[in-house]
Amino acid sequence: MLKLILDILSVPAILVGLIALIGLILQKKSASDTLKGTIKTVLGFLVLSGGAGIAEKSLGYFGTIFQEAFNVQGVVPHNEAVVALALETYGTSTALIMAFGMLANILIARYTKLKYIFLTGHHTLYMAAMISVILVVGGLEGVTLIIVGSIILGFVMAFFPAIAQPTMRKITGTDDVAFGHFGTVGYVLSAWVGKVLGKNSKSTEEMEFSQKLGFMRDSSVAISLVMGVLYIIVAIASGHKFINTLSGGQNYILFAVLQAITFAGGVYIILQGVRLILAEIVPAFRGISEKLVPDAKPALDCPVVFPYASNAVLIGFLSSFLGGIVGMLILIGLKTTIILPGVVPHFFCGATAGVFGNATGGKRGAFWGSFAHGLLITFLPVLLMPVLGNLGFANTTFSDADFGVVGIILGNIVKLFIK
């Protein structure tokens, strides 16, 4: 039963589909409307997930080729990898903290001013796993572990959407949708940097192209071309023999070009999935907010902001990745743990940082805000690893900013008051 609950709650499509179903039922919609709204919500998440899977696979090739091309070794932050390791030892406590943490989130939204319901199920699982690890390493166990962990999880699920909401209003132009992704500190930092450095800078979506470059207005074409250049550079630097081991003998330049266009295709699918979700989940969620949690807002995954500034998505990814490379070079100079720039977190989180930076500071905000984000998610893992016990010695760690912030603060509190 515990495993079934964990499986349901950790699958975003099922979780959000259930939320839509409950909302439509509470609004007393007809059976046909309820069925249609629920299925389209689940479908939207599956489309989004499919696009993310395509993009991640392509980025996986890029990361592998990058490490080979420039001969760097170190820790690669990757949420899924570190959580898989954590669940082997802390699976039961993680499941319980996740389940009761979601209940705590609803209660906090019901009885406080933090009116946000966090709906990104997989990130809820990741945060529950990290909290479980840190509390167990700190000496907590049994009922105390579950209660403390659930309250902490429920609070951060409501708190982080709250600090992102002022910028979300600027991005979306409404107050209907909130932001639910545990990289929020990095996005808020990007928005702040954008506000400071981006005065009078035009939006990335107002970028002017000559008639000869008019095709760059199509975001899919622009992403394909820019990523194509990057893929070809790292492919040439790594050598055709190495690429042959990945491509099954396909010409290494052709392989690079196809992977770049595949990545652009993944981003296109993600955007279509987001549009489908927003069309269904926001109206359905009103039923829950009206009946159970007045004025509550659904906090959704980071791609929810991508359609609002598609140029900022690409700028944010590239700038965040550049920040990751600069951060890596600094760590090499300091002769400490080297954090390699993980392409997947720099894309999803860096792209989001670009949208947030653009909302407050236009093109300059998107670039410098994302660059600051790239530095942040490079240095935070170094400080996080010591508080994760034996898990800190793995060759991977949590990648997104909020995991670092929550983990470092919680780990030091545990050391101070429990150990």
* Residue-level pLDDT at 178: 94
How far is C-alpha 16 from the geometric centre of its chain's CA atoms?
17
Q: Decide: helix, strand or coil at residue 76.
A: coil
Q: Decide: helix, strand or coil at residue 75.
A: strand
Q: Going by C-beta distance under 8 Å and a sequence separation of 6 or more, which residues neighbour residue 274?
A: 44, 48, 303, 304, 306, 307
Domain count within the chain: 1
Domain that holds residue 129: 1-416
* Residue-level pLDDT at 403: 95
Q: What gap in Å lies between CA 141 and CA 285, rounded to an integer? A: 36
Q: Decide: helix, strand or coil at residue 178.
A: strand
Strands (E) across 205-318 are located at: 297-300
Per-run averaged pLDDT (10 residues), the chain, 419 residues: 68 76 85 89 83 81 82 76 79 82 90 90 86 89 92 96 96 92 96 92 79 62 82 88 85 90 86 77 70 85 90 91 93 87 86 95 95 96 84 74 94 79
Rounded to the nearest 10 degrees, the angle between the axes of helix 142-172 and helix 79-111 is: 80
Q: Concatenated DSSP letters for 338-392?
A: -B---HHHHHHHHHHHHHHHHHHHHHHHHHHHHHHHHHHHHHHHHHHGGGGGGGG
* Residue-level pLDDT at 286: 66
